Amino acid sequence: MINTLIVLIGPTGIGKTELGLQLAKQFNCEIISSDSRQIFKELQIGTAAPTPEQLSVVKHHMVGTHSVNDYYNAYEFEQDVLKLLQERFQQHPNMLMTGGSMMYVDAVCKGIDELPTIDAEVRQHVMDLHEKEGLEAVRGQLKMLDPVFYDQVDLKNHKRVMHALEVCLMTGKPYSSLRKNTDQKRPFRMIKIGLDMDRETLYQRINKRVDMMVEEGLFDEASQFYHLKNTNALNTVGYKEIFGHWDGEYDADTAIELIKRNSRRYAKRQLSWFRRDKEISWFHPQSKNEIINFVNQQLELV
């Protein structure tokens, strides 16, 4: 039997967790989370982490495995998951990976270039530059050190711009010179399923989910980590907007509306990213039987 990784992806708030549980039970799979924030054990509400009940139904991996004090990146995720798959495929011919973190999904499916671990001093320098002088100052340094990548990167994506500058400063080499951008061959088959729905319904779901997070105690959860607001783990939608409120930039109601807006924008970016992968077959999240039939057909192919 051919080892198969079923990859279930889609934008935030579309229902991947619940459908993933149903598919995992249907195909006797264990679940690997490819959510870059659910890895952090302290962040439960703001990451919509699986509940204890959901975790008890199907064995999950890469959920709550690290602390917010840890630095973790897509390359480390790739290595950890490939090792995990090699191990678990001995008992389960099929595994299910689900989540919406674009770089994490691509790291496992396509491979990612090994880049250096950034030391705390370099990371703090770039964060201080961004905080004191703004993104334009970070862009300026990146343009000077790596004009090739500067012309390629989304200059509004502060995370990518800042990370590229970190690599340049850490290695003394242009970030672009370290990127190979070649897909890696994997010793297993992949079946990629994408979830999508009309934008109005998706955005309503996202708004409702944010309201539920607030009711469940998102502000209280965020208060525990205000002192870590500049770390990579907390520089994410749902927390950074609350930190902005506590920094006196706007009131609590505005923070909630910003979380909704930024979550909707993130969903749009996720869909744009995944749409470029022609190996993904797209379904409505309520088309469970259609998805099951599709997966069965693919599993029967040799």
149 close to 173: Cβ distance less than 8 angstroms: no
Mean pLDDT of the chain: 92
Domain 120-178 of CATH type 2.40.110.10? no
Which positions of the chain have pLDDT values less than 50? Answer: none
**DSSP letter for each residue of 248-277:** TSS-HHHHHHHHHHHHHHHHHHHHHHHHT-
The boundaries of every CATH 3.40.50.300 domain in the chain are: 4-113+182-300
pTM of full prediction above 0.85:
no
d(CA 234, CA 282): 31
Give pairs for 141-147: CB < 8 Å, separation 24+: 141/165, 141/168, 142/168, 142/175, 145/169, 145/174, 146/174, 146/175, 146/176, 146/177
Predicted local distance difference test score (pLDDT) of residue 225: 94
Dihedral over Cα of 296, 81, 285, 192: its sign: negative
Q: Residue 90 CA to chain centroid, in angstroms?
A: 27
CA distance 26 to 227: 43
Instruction: Provide the CA 149 distance to its chain's centre, in angstroms.
Output: 22
Which residue's entry shows tokens 């999950």? Answer: 60
Structure tokens at 233: 């783990």
Rounded to whole angstroms, the Cα distance separating 219 from 45 reads 10
**What pairing do the DSSP bridges indicate for beta strands 4-9 and 94-98?**
parallel
We find that the CATH architecture of domain 4-113+182-300 is: 3-Layer(aba) Sandwich (3.40)
State the CB neighbour count (10 A cutoff) for residue 188.
Answer: 15
The tokens for 146 are 């790596």
Residues of the chain with CATH 1.10.20.140: 120-178
pLDDT of residue 301: 81
Instruction: Give the pLDDT of residue 293.
Output: 97
* β-sheet bridge partners, residue 9: 194
DSSP letter (8 states) at residue 188: S
pLDDT given for residue 111 in this prediction: 87
| pLDDT score, position 296 | 95
Q: Encode pLDDT of 74-128 as tens digits.
A: 888 999 999 999 999 999 999 999 999 998 999 999 987 767 778 778 888 999 8
- The phi and psi torsions of 235 (rounded to 5 degrees) equal -85, 70
